[in-house]
A and B are shown apart, each in its own frame.
Chain A
């Protein structure tokens, strides 16, 4: 019976094996197991690699409490098992406890993905009572000098440490999410130790992925190949040493890979998210691709219909949309040509091969550019905000 509990891979790629049998748009795609709910784009932090789109949804466009509750009920009904409350900063919504309670009531497993800086112990305790199952807190570094500078928020790091402690006191499992880049990779060993000291269950060592805000900040964030190799060694050593104590998930930046990542498990195959304004999206960056019409939960279509039938979800499903070199590539159903958003951002056509792939005609140019940027002197950030970004001052303030 030792093989009775096959683990399904973490994060956006998770799926039961029974959902992975489809190949073309004509077939049916099973409803994903987990859905990411970006309930607001508002956030007190200004991280220069924010995964939100550059065009942020303003609060006036956000779904109301009743609309989100209806979404949660519908998700549970069609077979979604887990929801991740994310943002922006999800705790910026005053109705978060009510939404978590409703999700629990309809049988959904709930995860909070938070910067933690707005939480009080009382509110965290209310969330636990409402049935919250798991808390993930982002950290920008190991000490407040660097961490608060990256987040563009003074006092943030200290608050995060405090909330992490409360999380464990309330018997909630804790994931530490550490977004890594050139300016903080040297702190990785201490970040691992910090996660152990905080009694975290999981650590995500997530190298920045260069879309949206991060693409604007690439020259200030891109690590060198040598830095990354060292990072990989550190993670491997720690995994061995901390087996059974701390699970470490590791994401490398795809620029330095030869093969592209199977982004989102393939477009419209295993994942969707819902934006603050209620758009149902194949990935949280998908709105950066122009010319696609993403339907909203406010439309007269059900979420299941949008997932199965909408033009935007079907556009890059399967392999029928591919051009060369993807079209005849033996890996086409392994990585599905990489990331559509990255292909669009770097080549202007989402149907092109993701330049992260060595077979892309642009791979070499982009790799060299990344290498040059990694050696560069530019450390100034363009901070993420609703104003379209603010450049950090010369002396880092």
Chain B
């Protein structure tokens, strides 16, 4: 079940948070947080929305489609922003992806 590390995010990747990075709503401080080893990250609203869509089934293109429809915004700009955000998270070691198993 070990997801790959050091991933490169593209439109086709299907990212998901690894088990050691947990997205959680902090009820005491009224903010979303990502809990990670010795770190607490504070993602903004858009990042939270993106991460909630990243369930390991949708690919990054699907996520951009949904956000473009919801915000009536240009898909290409959204896609670029989403990739930058996810790659940043991946570079910090807090993102993995689902890959097809080769038989």
Q: A134 vs B38: C-alpha distance in the bound complex, in angstroms?
A: 9
Cross-chain contact B37 with A5 (CB below 8 angstroms)? no
In the assembled complex, the CB of B3 is this many whole angstroms from the nearest CB of chain A, namely 8
Cross-chain contact A82 with B40 (CB below 8 angstroms)? yes
B22, CB-defined interface residue at 8 Å: yes
Q: Which residue of B lies closest to A2 (CB)?
A: B84
A244, CB-defined interface residue at 8 Å: yes
Which listed residue (B18, B28, B93) contacts A78, Cβ 8 A? B28
Residue from the set B2, B37, B42, B44 with the largest chain A CB neighbour count within 10 Å: B37
Chain A residues 1 to 51 lying within 8 A of chain B, measured CB to CB, are 1-2, 4-8, 10-11, 14, 16-19, 30-31, 33-34
Interface residues of B (CB under 8 A from A): 1-3, 6, 18-20, 22, 24, 26-29, 31, 33-35, 37-44, 46-47, 81-82, 84-85, 88-89, 91-93
Q: A7 vs B88: C-alpha distance in the bound complex, in angstroms?
A: 11
Q: Which residues of A contact B43 (CB under 8 A)?
A: 4-5
Cross-chain contact B46 with A173 (CB below 8 angstroms)? no
In the assembled complex, the CB of B57 is this many whole angstroms from the nearest CB of chain A, namely 20
Q: Give the dominant DSSP class at A's interface.
A: loop
Residue from the set B24, B82, B93 with the largest chain A CB neighbour count within 10 Å: B93
Cross-chain contact A7 with B92 (CB below 8 angstroms)? yes
Q: A292 vs B60: C-alpha distance in the bound complex, in angstroms?
A: 56
Chain A residues 149 to 184 lying within 8 A of chain B, measured CB to CB, are 168, 171-173, 175
Cross-chain contact A201 with B93 (CB below 8 angstroms)? yes
A231, CB-defined interface residue at 8 Å: no
Which listed residue (B3, B39, B46) contacts A8, Cβ 8 A? B39
Q: Which residues of B contact A34 (CB under 8 A)?
A: 40
Cross-chain contact B40 with A134 (CB below 8 angstroms)? no
A262, CB-defined interface residue at 8 Å: no
Return 7 A-B CB contacts under 8 Å, by A number: A5-B88, A8-B42, A17-B42, A79-B29, A109-B35, A111-B37, A133-B37
A247, CB-defined interface residue at 8 Å: yes
Cross-chain contact B41 with A1 (CB below 8 angstroms)? no
Q: Which residues of A contact B42 (CB under 8 A)?
A: 5-6, 8, 16-17
Q: A192 vs B91: C-alpha distance in the bound complex, in angstroms?
A: 20
Q: Which residue of B lies closest to A78 (CB)?
A: B28
A53, CB-defined interface residue at 8 Å: no
Given contacts A5-B42, A16-B33, A19-B29, 17 further A-B contacts (CB under 8 A): A2-B88, A4-B43, A8-B39, A8-B42, A11-B38, A14-B39, A16-B40, A30-B29, A79-B26, A82-B35, A109-B22, A109-B35, A133-B20, A134-B20, A171-B2, A173-B18, A173-B20
Q: A376 vs B62: C-alpha distance in the bound complex, in angstroms?
A: 66
Q: Which residue of B lies closest to A131 (CB)?
A: B19
Q: A107 vs B28: C-alpha distance in the bound complex, in angstroms?
A: 13
Q: Which residues of A contact B39 (CB under 8 A)?
A: 7-8, 10, 14
A121, CB-defined interface residue at 8 Å: no
